[in-house]
Amino acid sequence: MIETQGVSKRYGDVLVVDDVSLSIPKGGFTSIIGPNGAGKSTLLSMISRLTPMSAGTVLVDGMDVTRTPGSVLARRLSILRQDNQTSLRLTVRDLVAFGRFPHSGGRLTAEDMRHVDEAMDYLRLNEYRDRPIDELSGGQRQRAYVAMVMCQDTEYVLLDEPLNNIDMRFAVDMMQLLRRAADEKGKTVVVVLHDINFASCYSDHIIAMRQGKPAYQGTPQQIIRDEVLRDLYEMDIAVHEVNGQRICVYFRMA
């Protein structure tokens, strides 16, 4: 379980994340949604020790993320942010293999290679395996980075807007894959999403943030509702049930 206790982040006078105490259950798929500037990404990067907290504590399975050695945490929790290096002269396979670093310390074993191959299969990267990542399209590169995080093989997988820059087919692919990682491998997937329809269709649990605080939490049935979304985004959003999925329609006001 991931627990935040009174977590805040202050940049100068601006409070980006305001005294957040919440818990994310082990297992399943949790999405964090909310308007721009709600503090979603900042919260995620504090949970994953990338950004220091101004106040509060984050516990991952009871381990304080600021005190636990990085190498121990790296075998329990992985994080991928949106803006990654794009100019590396590194093949896809080499990049993905870095995901084994917390386990192998840089010397790859046969077991590590099995994980690398599996992750590349999983993200359909086999045909690009020997291509340098600076020659890939944005979407392909994004999948290569996700493959790296997948072969890190951690209990908790945290992703900040993994659907950025990728087209619909790969967005669906990516969400299916993350869903499968939660269902088949029992991983705890936590994703910051902008597209509320993806959050609605794939999540077990949704955390809706506004102005640095979690405004609503619950299942998609509880969160993906007209009145909740109107309050959250300050616009009219009509929720329709299509094939058992709750779909939000907001593209053109009537």
**Which class for 82: exposed (0-12), middle (13-18), buried (19 or more C-beta within 10 A)?**
middle
Q: Could you tell me which stretch among 31-39, 77-85, 169-177, 223-231 binds another protein (CB under 8 A)?
A: 77-85
Mask 26-65, x = binds another protein (CB under 8 A)?
A: -------------------x--xxx---------------
Residue 223, classed as helix, strand or coil, is: helix
Tell whether residue 101 is a contact of another protein (CB under 8 A). yes
Tell whether residue 169 is a contact of another protein (CB under 8 A). no
Residue 20, classed as helix, strand or coil, is: strand
Tell whether residue 12 is a contact of another protein (CB under 8 A). no
Contact call for residues 86 and 141 (beta carbons, < 8 A):
yes
Cα gap 47→35, rounded to integer Å: 20
Tell whether residue 152 is a contact of another protein (CB under 8 A). yes
Tell whether residue 197 is a contact of another protein (CB under 8 A). no
Tell whether residue 23 is a contact of another protein (CB under 8 A). no
Reference 139, options 197, 188, 82, 79; nearest CA is: 82
Cβ closest to another protein, residue 154 vs residue 200: 154
Cα gap 58→173, rounded to integer Å: 31
Tell whether residue 75 is a contact of another protein (CB under 8 A). yes
Tell whether residue 106 is a contact of another protein (CB under 8 A). yes
Cα gap 233→250, rounded to integer Å: 11
Binding site for another protein (CB under 8 A): 45, 48-50, 69-75, 78-81, 84-85, 88-90, 95, 98-99, 101-102, 105-107, 148-149, 152
